[in-house]
Amino acid sequence: MKSRDMNHDWIATARTLSEALPYMQRYAGAVVVVKFGGNAMGDDAAMAEFARDIVLMRQVGINPVVVHGGGPMINDMLKKLGIKSEFVRGKRVTDKATIDVVEMVLTGLVNKRIVQAIMDEGGRAVGLSGKDDDLMVCEADDPELGFVGRPVEMNPQVLRDLFKAGIIPVVAPVATGMQPNETFNVNGDTAAGAIAGALKADRLLLLTDVSGVKDGTGNVVTAMTPDEVTAMIADGTIAGGMIPKTETALKAIEEGVRAVVILDGRVPNACLLELFTEHGAGSLIRPPR
């Protein structure tokens, strides 16, 4: 009985791979930007699973870019160093002491952990930040927030060079400024959207800790147009933390990204479900065909 069950599992696996073939062909050569964050970053098993999915994407011809956050890790380090955080309208005020910690944690601890996870799964990855080769140049987003940046200039050639070499870029959302020696902390979703727009990516996948955009009855909306998203924000259906994510999606689409998906990163193999199955995952936002 056990042998028969195992044989059935292998047959199911083979069938799944076969059914995924058209989608693999569809995305061959495509650029897919993935914003990675949330609970998965603090769990070794979830990190390994995410890394395996990214390596598989690269293996079948997709050019993935991983853009990550790291808020909880930043909070932990600030606490250890005795640096107090202040927030204005839900955003961290980033003074000189804080930006030094942000850069250290994001470009060091968090970035290299993701790079190592991808390498452990057989991929090739290079960690960089928005500072490298002036990938992302920012201005201050709000004087009250200090060194929190808004991307105003993107130079994605370094990412294209890595694609050609078969290397997966892992980008920390830390950027340079217009003035010498300026460093800015950039919201991870904002950074991912700006990078996706600069690359004219086929997909921007925003991994979150929720199942997607929900309608007034609490059900996940699986497909939306930009106009529908705008209307849902205006009438309050989209609220709270989902507003900046959907605004990032709208801006990315304006800049040439073909579609944006907001999906639950806690779901096993969420990226593969979205790209390689008919059902997909989360909420797909794209212009009407």
For residue 7, what pLDDT is reported?
62
User: What is the architecture of the domain spanning 27-285?
Assistant: 3-Layer(aba) Sandwich (3.40)
Buried b (16+ CB within 10 A) or exposed e, 235-272: eebbeeebeebbbbbbbbbebebbbbbbbbbbeeebbb
Place of tokens 């890595």: 162
Cα–Cα distance, 34 to 155 (Å, whole number): 18
Instruction: Output the pTM of the full model.
Output: 0.91
3-state secondary structure of 112: helix
CB-based contact 246:238 (threshold 8 Å): yes
Q: What are phi and psi of 249, to 5 degrees?
A: -60, -45
Give the span between the Cα atoms of 195 and 18, in whole angstroms.
32
pLDDT of residue 170: 98
Residue with structure tokens 């250290």?
Answer: 104
Q: Which residues lie closer than 8 Å to 264 by C-beta, 6 or more apart?
A: 207, 208, 209, 210, 211, 212, 270, 281, 282
Instruction: List all residues 6 or more positions away from 31 whose beta carbon is below 8 Å from its beta carbon.
Output: 62, 63, 64, 65, 163, 196, 199, 200, 201, 202, 203
Number of H helices, E strands in the chain: 10, 14
Q: Where in the chain are the domains?
A: 27-285
Q: What is the DSSP letter of 219?
A: P
Q: Counting Cβ atoms within 10 Å, is residue 227 exposed (0-12), middle (13-18) or buried (19+)?
A: exposed
Give the whole-angstrom CA distance, residue 153 versus residue 140: 13
The answer to whether 28 and 158 are in contact (CB under 8 A) is: no
Minimal CA–CA distance to 58: which of 47, 66, 48, 46?
Answer: 66
Give the residue among 276, 136, 275 at the shortest CA–CA distance from 202. 275
CB 197 within 8 A of CB 251: yes
pLDDT of residue 1: 46
Angle between helices 188-199 and 242-254 (to 10 degrees): 10
Tally of CB atoms within 10 A around 91: 16
pLDDT in single tens digits along all 289 residues of the chain? 445 555 657 777 677 777 777 777 888 899 999 999 866 677 889 899 999 999 999 999 999 999 999 888 999 999 999 998 887 766 788 999 999 999 999 999 999 999 999 999 999 999 999 999 999 999 999 888 999 999 999 999 999 999 999 999 999 999 999 998 899 999 999 999 999 999 999 999 999 888 889 988 889 999 999 999 999 999 999 988 888 899 999 999 999 999 999 998 888 888 988 888 877 778 999 998 7
